Amino acid sequence: MTLQVFGLPVSRGVAIGKAVLVSSSRVDVAHYFINADQVESEIVRLREGRDVVARELEMLKRDMPDDAPGELAALLDVHLLLLHDEALTGATKQWIIDRHYNAEWALSAQLEVLARQFDEMEDDYLRERKADVEQVVERLLRALARGATSALAPAPGKSTEDWGGEEPLVLIANDIAPADMLQFKKSVFKGFVTDVGGKTSHTAIVARSMDIPAIVGAREASRLIRQDDWVIIDGDAGVVIVDPSPMVLEEYRFRQRQSELERERLARLRHTPAVTLDGERVELLANIELPQDAPGAFESGAVGVGLFRSEFLFMNRNGELPGEDEQFEAYRAAVQAMQGLPVTIRTVDIGADKSLERMSINELRHEHTLNPALGLRAIRWSLSEPNMFRMQLRAILRASVFGPVKLLVPMLAHRSEIRQTFEMIERAKQQLRDAGVPFADIQVGAMIEVPAAALLMPLFLRHFDFVSIGTNDLIQYTLAIDRADESVSYLYDPWHPAVLRLVAGTISQARAAGKGVCVCGEMAGDSSFAPLLLAMGLRSFSMHPSQIASVKQRILRSDTQKLMHYLNDILNSDDPQARYRELVAGDGVRPASLAA
């Protein structure tokens, strides 16, 4: 029966495919596809894991004290029975054979299927046996993790690309950590849905960078959708349609073709310079997460990288951080891929919803600090790890010999942080000089993403060569709303007058001081904001490469002279969005024919 699930649209378009459910097990589970020639060895791993658990359970039984309650021995027997049950291990093997899932993924997929069957049982006693299956699976996952490091991260050469099947797949999960999203980046999935998360959570941001339809905060999705259900993900409306009728399916297939045509049309703008109707040149830059994203950024027509979120290099590494040389190679690769265009590398922004480990938003909230978004993140973390920070600074400085590099520092708010940051940069430079390692003169910029920084622009402009406005965090901290929390996502409002005034003030003060100013938060890639940001005086936007064409189209149709006249009216309004619609829609934004 057709079912609809609603959530927050985070990445546009329509995806149609079979649901792949990723369970949110308490054990860290990597999900990746193995190659056809690895199926045999993956089944052996699973068998070995099962044998280890069987021995563990036998030993527990044997060593049980005499006065232990009888139920305990009976329980271990139940676990042993479950362990050898075809419904668990046999079916798990089948996932490996049919879908090429790695053993851990296959196990969690099968657990999902079994858990549902238990949930539907009438008998209370039987229904409660679900917990036993979960415990057995958890034991098995731990055994696999101990037996092979690949249980935690894909071994080199393995990826989520190797799915040999024909049917399109979409990913459904309770929660996906940004680190896991990264792993899915080169994957077969045509779209994804999570139960939790806000529009500008980092999971959503990585999904957007993959340019596939995505919905977060869909609350019940992973409970209502079953493994292998056919689903439509409407990334424009934020709706998931489960088991659609042939008529609905046809309608969405039509929309899919339409949006493909629209993309092709926009792609023709790739080499058109972004110039407004009144001749203002605008710089459209790319946000990237990994050096491998740089060629795509170049192809998209970006005139540089405005934000390289370097923290993604630090994820999925089982706690081992990348050394100086490894980082240098990564930065150099990005710089060289941009072929002489500038690359702005942001120092690590770890913390909040971006953990070094594969931790979901929920785990972060409950396990680490009460309030990770207000905790030790970004520059605070870097300054608390001075060796690591200097190592990163040296790696970035060394890459500057291979092309124009700019350094960007996240989440600054205090004068002491600014001072310490520059001391660190100076120390890193001195270390390179002492070692005779060359580096170029690089510009240093500050991210303006804490209201305190936006209100202290003169201080920042005295010290930094440029600023970059991180609207995602600026909105979060101005409005006191956790950007990753879907329960308050209705309050996450880029149109809030306080937010707009902070953004406008930052842009105008930077311009007045003759310093560069860019917006690199998600607002920059939302074409509906482009005329407003132009009116504020912004001439540098950084966004996901896939958004560049549509923002460019909007810029080509805009007249900054006209737009400027409306700015104060909009900023002083209690409802800037409504005022903007009244004033700007249809004026200052004139249709222009697309360049062929």
Q: Is 520 a catalytic residue?
A: yes
Is residue 489 a contact point for ligand PEP (CB under 6 A)?
no
Is residue 485 a contact point for Mg ion (CB under 5 A)?
no
Shortest gap between Cβ of 570 and ligand PEP (angstroms)? 21
Report the partner that residue 454 touches, choosing among Mg ion, ligand PEP, none (CB closer than 5 to 8 A by kind): none
Which parts of 268-346 fold into alpha helices (H)? 294-299, 324-337
Is residue 449 a contact point for ligand PEP (CB under 6 A)?
yes
Query: Amino acid letter at 16?
Result: I
Q: Which residues of 428-498 form beta strands (DSSP E)?
A: 443-448, 466-469
Map residues 303-322 to x or -, x wherever contact with ligand PEP holds by CB under 6 A: ----x-x-------------
Q: Which two tokens stand for residue 445?
A: 């910029």
Shortest gap between Cβ of 410 and Mg ion (angstroms)? 6
Is residue 482 a contact point for ligand PEP (CB under 6 A)?
no
In the region spanning residues 517 to 556, those forming contacts with ligand PEP, defined by CB under 6 A, are 520-521
- The DSSP bridge partners found for residue 193 are 172, 215
Q: Which stretch binds Mg ion (CB under 5 A): 9-17, 337-345, 397-405, 446-454?
A: 446-454
Is the Cβ–Cβ distance between 88 and 78 less than 8 Å? no
DSSP letter assigned to residue 341:
S
Residue tagged active-site, from 79, 202, 518, 544: 202
Strand order in the sheet with 230-234: 3-6, 239-242, 230-234, 14-22, 169-173, 189-194, 214-216, 8-11
Beta carbon nearer to ligand PEP, 103 or 507: 507
Number of other CB atoms surrounding residue 197 within 10 Å: 32
Question: Considering only residues 28, 175, 349, 417, which one is a binding residue for ligand PEP as defined by CB under 6 A?
Answer: 349
DSSP letter assigned to residue 154:
P
Sign for the pseudo-dihedral over CA of 495, 212, 285, 469: positive
Please tell me the total number of residues recorded for the chain in this structure.
Answer: 596
Map residues 166-205 to x or -, x wherever contact with ligand PEP holds by CB under 6 A: ---------------------------------------x
Is the Cβ–Cβ distance between 406 and 445 less than 8 Å? yes
Beta carbon nearer to ligand PEP, 188 or 205: 205
- Say how far apart CA 67 and CA 582 lie, in whole Å: 79
Beta carbon nearer to ligand PEP, 471 or 489: 471
Q: Is 518 a catalytic residue?
A: no
Q: Which stretch binds ligand PEP (CB under 6 A): 90-98, 211-219, 259-267, 465-473?
A: 465-473
Is residue 471 a contact point for ligand PEP (CB under 6 A)?
yes
Question: Considering only residues 198, 470, 531, 588, which one is a binding residue for ligand PEP as defined by CB under 6 A?
Answer: 470
Q: Which two tokens stand for residue 254?
A: 């039509």
Shortest gap between Cβ of 446 and ligand PEP (angstroms)? 12
Q: Which two tokens stand for residue 354?
A: 């971006």
DSSP characters for 528-555?
A: GGHHHHHHTT--EEEE-GGGHHHHHHHH
Beta carbon nearer to Mg ion, 293 or 473: 473
Is residue 470 a contact point for Mg ion (CB under 5 A)?
yes
Shortest gap between Cβ of 492 and ligand PEP (angstroms)? 12
Give the interface size with Mg ion as a residue count (CB under 5 A). 3
- Say how far apart CA 536 and CA 451 lie, in whole Å: 18
CA distances for 471 relative to 421, 474, 495, angstroms: 22, 5, 11
Shortest gap between Cβ of 462 and Mg ion (angstroms)? 22
Q: What is the dihedral of CA 378, 382, 388, 391, to 10 degrees?
A: 80
**Does residue 196 sit in helix, strand or coil?**
coil
Beta carbon nearer to ligand PEP, 34 or 510: 510
Question: Considering only residues 289, 473, 482, 559, which one is a binding residue for ligand PEP as defined by CB under 6 A?
Answer: 473
Is residue 311 a contact point for Mg ion (CB under 5 A)?
no
Shortest gap between Cβ of 134 and Mg ion (angstroms)? 36
Q: Tokens 């050898």 sit at which residue?
A: 84
Buried b (16+ CB within 10 A) or exposed e, 137-147: bbbbbbbbbee
Is the Cβ–Cβ distance between 197 and 361 less than 8 Å? yes
Shortest gap between Cβ of 238 and ligand PEP (angstroms)? 20
Shortest gap between Cβ of 564 and ligand PEP (angstroms)? 25
DSSP characters for 5-72?
A: EE-EEEE-SEEEEEEEEE---SS-----BPPGGGHHHHHHHHHHHHHHHHHHHHHHHHT--TTS-HHH
- Say how far apart CA 535 and CA 134 lie, in whole Å: 56
Is residue 472 a contact point for ligand PEP (CB under 6 A)?
yes
Is residue 306 a contact point for Mg ion (CB under 5 A)?
no
Is residue 449 a contact point for Mg ion (CB under 5 A)?
yes
- Say how far apart CA 589 and CA 534 lie, in whole Å: 11
Question: Considering only residues 473, 482, 522, 559, which one is a binding residue for Mg ion as defined by CB under 5 A?
Answer: 473
Beta carbon nearer to Mg ion, 92 or 287: 287
Residue tagged active-site, from 31, 100, 518, 520: 520
Is residue 450 a contact point for ligand PEP (CB under 6 A)?
no
Report the partner that residue 520 touches, choosing among ligand PEP, Mg ion, none (CB closer than 5 to 8 A by kind): ligand PEP
Report the partner that residue 471 touches, choosing among ligand PEP, Mg ion, none (CB closer than 5 to 8 A by kind): ligand PEP
Is the Cβ–Cβ distance between 395 and 324 less than 8 Å? yes
CA distances for 558 relative to 149, 529, 584, 586, angstroms: 54, 12, 10, 10
List residues binding ligand PEP (CB under 6 A): 205, 307, 309, 349, 449, 470-473, 520-521
List residues binding Mg ion (CB under 5 A): 449, 470, 473
Instruction: Indicate which residues carry an active-site annotation.
Output: 202, 520
